[in-house]
Amino acid sequence: MDYELDLDDEGKPYLKVALTDYALMANSLLNKGMSFTRNEREQFGLIGLLPPHISNLETQRERSYLAVTGKPTDLEKYVYLRDLQDSNETLFYDLLCHHIEELLPIIYTPTVGLGCQRFSHVYRRPRGVFIAYPYLNEIDRILANPRFDHVRTIVVSDGERILGLGDQGAGGMGIPIGKLALYTTCAGLHPSTTLPVLLDTGTNNPDLLKDPLYIGWKHERVRGDDYARLIDAFVTAVKKRFPHVLLQWEDFAQLNANPLLERYRGQLCTFNDDIQGTAAVTAGTLFAAIHVTGTRLRDQRIVIAGAGSAGCGISSLIMRAMIKDGLTESEARKRFFLIDRQGLLTDDMTGLLPFQKPFAHSRSEIAHWPGGHNQPPGLKETVQNVHPTVLIGVSGQPRIFTEEIIRDMAAHVERPVIFPLSNPISMSEASSADILRWTHDKAIIGTGSPAGAVTRFGKSFRIDQTNNCYIFPGVGLGLIAVKSRLVTDEMFMAAASALADASPSKRDPDANLLAPLSEIRKISLHIAIAVAKEAIAAGLAEFNDIGNLEEHIRRHMWTPAYLPYRKI
């Protein structure tokens, strides 16, 4: 063990550290850079290996902030921050916590997409675990490394559907790294408890296969039984090595995402953020929006462009909320209109996936639409006939929310709710500025990527980024704190409700739907408590002391700071 937490005679924490000189400074969890004290430099053989000046975390943060903001491009900023993370994690997270609104778009969407595309070209140092298909029989040995003894949260991807960019192969590792950075920044999970994993099952991206710098397994993606064997071997090894782990699935292709979730959700504490996290943040933002519109959830007519895992996940969660608001399941389903590549989902379509079928309309329901008895209506025809109150985009198709469609929607709804959620911003269904112009500033908007400020009713206004970081860090914190055995849909409903409860618009209808990211730790704690209570109520939690729940969760939240070191 390289280090161990202990308390001094006054009850103050310090670390007992076994490493010395360059080995100590090369450990990103322990490195303090120039903030090692004179006494520590003496103990650990650092005299002369560092400049003589003794700094502090605040000064280091200022230096790092000037360095990152001085980079000319977002990719260079991303590379700088990844280097900082790999050299000094305390400084990295302190910097993020103090400048989260400015740096979140760099460490995650939209810049992380470019980071994944360029991953092999900017690769510096190893982080996390690459489990390639040829390692199928070596997973236990890989995970047995003592450096993973404290792991409580794993984010895993196979790199096949990275944001709206498609197959990025081993470059998809940028997503688990980025997600776990948000777990620490937004909810305070200690970085030593997090493990990013890339299941390298090959790639079908021809540019990667012919790239001499590509770092992944140069092989076409394995499918069928071979793929299933690797996934099952991985999950089995995880359950054995980490009995209380939270396993989060990220950016798996539609072909695999839902089946994997359904296969393993009853075996361990696991969820798919693209399906459930996206659903919860969308639902929570929608709950806040309809409070502004003064309407009931049960009365909404919802059109969703994109009938994949995310679109159906959003529909399923909101449908459950509509049922709670008094509709029958049959009535609730009829209020959703999902558009796939072929058009509106109808029950006579071939190739419908199991999770799509519940939202497919019968031909008789749309027979009165112009042409509804013939080809499936597209997005424009659906909006013209449904007159939706809510329009959500998770299609990955840029600019499909056209002026004609948005103006038609606004002609029939006083305050249209429009969420173009596809990432990165180049894939967004419409720009916020266009939507506001086409609706005469009446639209209530949430976007997937940062949209910045716009002018609304003559004043500068921050567009809400309906980012999963408002949900999954808090959900994970609550689950980990009470050691929940499973993750349920009710927990995500609790998270969505908690997010809506924290909305500034609840107090001022002209305010934002979502609190600023500067308040994200407070929001994550609020969500963690709601999720933990649901886990306890469902009998799934090992910790069930409601009276001490908040304090118990707070003890799981790490704040970046340097502790004193003593040599073992």
**Domain covering 276-467, topology:** Rossmann fold (3.40.50)
Q: For residue 239, what is the enclosing H or E element? A: helix 224-241
Among all chains, which residue has been given the structure tokens 């329009």? 391
Alpha helices in 242-347 (DSSP H): 254-264, 278-293, 309-324, 329-333
SS3 308: coil
The pLDDT value recorded for residue 177 is: 98
The burial of 458, by beta-carbon neighbours within 10 Å (0-12 exposed, 13-18 middle, 19 or more buried), is given as exposed
Q: How far apart are CA 226 and CA 222, in angstroms?
A: 6
Write out the E strands in 203-279.
246-249, 270-272
Among all chains, which residue has been given the structure tokens 């071979």? 226
Which residues does the annotation mark as catalytic?
Answer: 108, 179
Q: How far apart are CA 188 and CA 557, in angstroms?
A: 4
76 touches 121 (CB < 8 A): no
Among all chains, which residue has been given the structure tokens 């990013």? 196
The class (CATH top level) of 470-551 is alpha beta
Q: For residue 131, what is the enclosing H or E element? A: strand 129-132
Q: How far apart are CA 60 and CA 91, in angstroms?
A: 7
Q: Residues comprising the binding site?
A: 161, 250-251, 274, 423, 467
Q: How far apart are CA 568 and CA 562, in angstroms?
A: 18
Q: Which residues sit opposite 336 in a β-bridge? A: 302
Q: In the structure, how many helices (H) and strands (E) does the chain have?
A: 24, 17
Question: pTM of the predicted model, to two decimals?
Answer: 0.95
Residue among 191, 207, 26 nearest 120 (CA)? 207
Q: What letter does residue 346 receive in the DSSP assignment?
A: B
Sheet containing strand 194-200, edge to edge, reads: 129-132, 194-200, 153-157, 246-249, 270-272
The pLDDT value recorded for residue 374 is: 65
Q: Which residues sit opposite 566 in a β-bridge? A: 16
Q: Residues comprising the binding site for (S)-malate?
A: 161, 423, 467
Q: Residues comprising the binding site for a divalent metal cation?
A: 250-251, 274
CATH node for 102-268: 3.40.50.10380
3-state secondary structure 487-507: CCHHHHHHHHHHHHHCCHHHC
Among all chains, which residue has been given the structure tokens 């916590």? 97
Per-residue pLDDT of the chain (568 residues; tens, 9 = 90+): 789 999 999 999 999 999 999 999 999 999 999 999 999 999 999 999 999 999 999 999 999 999 999 999 999 999 999 999 999 999 999 999 999 999 999 999 889 999 999 999 999 999 999 999 999 999 999 999 999 999 999 999 999 999 889 999 999 999 999 999 999 999 999 999 999 999 999 999 999 999 999 999 999 999 999 999 999 999 999 999 999 999 999 999 989 999 999 999 999 999 999 999 999 999 999 999 999 999 999 999 999 999 999 999 999 999 999 999 999 999 999 999 999 999 999 999 999 999 999 999 998 899 889 865 667 899 999 999 999 999 999 999 999 999 999 999 999 999 999 999 998 888 899 999 999 999 999 999 999 988 878 888 888 999 999 999 999 999 999 999 999 999 999 999 999 999 999 999 999 999 999 999 999 999 999 999 999 999 999 999 999 999 999 999 999 999 999 999 999 9
CATH 3.40.50.10380 in the chain, residue ranges: 102-268, 470-551
- What's the number of CA atoms in the CB half-sphere (13 Å) around residue 442? 16
